[in-house]
A and B are shown apart, each in its own frame.
Chain A
């Protein structure tokens, strides 16, 4: 059974600080996804990581993938309030169906 574990599940940060969200997954998949979800809204695709060592950056967010360690990270640089949301990682399985983690609720405080 596929398992995706995120930590932390809750993260309260101050604006301007840096932090990393970790995503461990259970299989040898080389496809890892990061999504953002605002309260009551659907999921917005942030990053698709398709190979070992992949690194992608968009604004203050950077995601990386280590398939040997079965680990992906989402690094937040100099957090701002607009980044407050729930962040999900998901592993791509057969037929590209996604197995999601429980999500990390990020709150950025002024």
Chain B
């Protein structure tokens, strides 16, 4: 399968714990996006990479959130000291520079108890 992949697909954690998610974009896609979707809402933009550079972060991304894309390929999103309000589906998408269409991965569903 050459689509966007995300790992894990589901994560249950206790409040205060740290979690890390991984996204592998479509090969050759140099743009990578993270979105968050809560129940009954559309996805909301969190952050964006072009190659290894993080070019934009949403105000939604508090200091507890950090994202990296160290070699311009896969990306990780870490949430420190999780809170119940962090419970959501975290979606990753990728695209090529100059091409509008973004392809989404299956998402990581986070539940914070």
Contact = CB atoms under 8 A, between A and B. Distances in A.
B104 A42 contact: yes
B91 A42 contact: yes
B101 A97 contact: no
B101 A90 contact: no
A48 B106 contact: no
Interface in B20-53: 31, 33, 35, 40-45, 48, 50
A95 B56 contact: yes
Interface string A83-106: 000001010101111111111000
A78 interface: no
B100 A99 contact: no
Contacts of A102: 40-42
Interface centre among A35, A44, A88, A97 (most CB of B within 10 A): A97
Interface in B73-103: 91, 95, 100-103
B56 A97 contact: yes
B95 to A, nearest CB: 7
A41 B106 CA distance: 6
A8 to B, nearest CB: 14
A27 interface: no
Contact of A101 (B33, B40, B42, B100): B42
Given A43-B104, A45-B103, A50-B100, A95 B42 contact: no
Q: Which 3 A-B pairs have the closest CB atoms?
A: A100-B42, A43-B104, A97-B45
